Structure formats: structure tokens, C-alpha cells
Amino acid sequence: MSFLQFLVPKDKKFFPLFEKATENLLRTSEALIVLTTTTSAEERKQRIREIEHLEHSGDNITHLIFNQLGKSFITPFDREDIHALASAIDDVLDFIHGSAKRIDLYRIEQLDESIPALARCIHDGAVELNVAIKNLNGMKDVNLVKEACVKINSLENEADDVFNKAIANLFDNEKDAIQIIKIKEILAALETATDKCEDAANVIQGIVLKQA
């Protein structure tokens, strides 16, 4: 056990909830990958329903974190950081859910390859968030936390590139103005999900700096 681990005992209230939140996000991102890659209409409907259910589960976890924050005198790190981290994770879920709903409501049958590419960026970011949270508790492995945050920042940059190229391609090749609006909204929701994932990573990096 490192000296830092000895000084920072493991939290038994907030981190179990944060781990539930990131595990729920991970399952949601896995459902998003299936949704954006399957050719089966029935499979797509099932994954949309699954994402909606997981988004509601995420809301419940976020509310539990906020409730715990309201009744806890001592917290493992700054109260505003707890609030910001929970909100950022919840925001990723919201934008995944928003993109899934748009795919459903807009009746998009064929998805451009940029959409599953963005879904993979979100999933990879969720994987790294899960790693960061598990190793942040009690400062188990600060290096792994830092590495995960760096990877999330890189994934957000990758998502920006995918989004910008997809928008350029959309305007170059799609002649239907309504279809352009529909696809652009889906792409924007997915790209924003990666932004929110980076927001969560930035909060985590700030927590590490404060604990150092």
C-alpha cells in the first residue's frame, strides 16, 4: 500500500454509487454499439428500449448520489466535484439516449459509418471512465486514473474529427434537406456525449490534483 493510499481511506458511500453509474454507462454504450451496427429492425428496437431503461437507471443512481451528498457531513472529495462528476456521467447517458430516440423517431434505416464510429468512441470512453473511478477510490492507482483520463481526452479529439468529416460529407452528398437535419442531430448528440465524457474526466483529473 502506498503512503497516499494509507492517508486516503476507501469511501464506502459515494464510490460504490459512482461505480454503479459507470458500469451502467458501460452497458448503455454497449447497447448503443449494437443499435448502430445491427441490420435487424427488431434488434434495433430492443436496444432502443434497453437504452431507455438504462438511462432511467442512471437517473436513479444520480439521485442517490445527490441525496447522499445532502445528508453527508464528510465526503471523500469536494462536494462540488461530486456533483459535477455525477452530473457529467448522467449527461453522457442523456445524450446516448437522445441519439437513440432520434434514430427511432426519425425512422433512420441506414446509418452512415460515422455513427457507429462515434458510438465506439463513446464506448471506449465509458470503459476508461470505469477504470478511472475504480482506481480513484482510496487513490488505489493514480497512474491508471491519469492514463484513463488522457485516453478519454484523445477519444474526444477523435470524435471531433469523425463528426467534422461526417458533417462535411453529409453536406456534400445528401440532397434532401430534411434528411440532413435528421442525421446532423444524431451526429451532434453522439459527439456531445463524448464531450460530456471528457467533462467527467476533467473533474477526475481535478480531484487527483487536489488529493496530491
Residue 76 lies in a domain: yes
Which sign, positive or negative, has the C-alpha torsion 194, 185, 63, 20?
A: negative
Residue 47 lies in a domain: yes
Give per-residue pLDDT as tens, 65-99.
Answer: 999 988 878 888 889 999 999 999 999 999 999 99
Q: pTM, whole model, 2 decimals?
A: 0.92
Q: How many domains, the chain? A: 1
DSSP conformational letter for 106: T
What is the span of the domain harbouring residue 139? Answer: 12-211
Give per-residue pLDDT as tens, 85-140.
Answer: 999 999 999 999 999 999 999 999 888 899 999 999 999 999 999 999 999 987 87
Residue 155 lies in a domain: yes
Residue 4 lies in a domain: no
41: domain CATH number? 1.20.58.220
For the chain, the helix, strand and coil percentages under 3-state DSSP, each to the nearest 5:
85, 0, 15
Residue 129 lies in a domain: yes
Residue 63 lies in a domain: yes
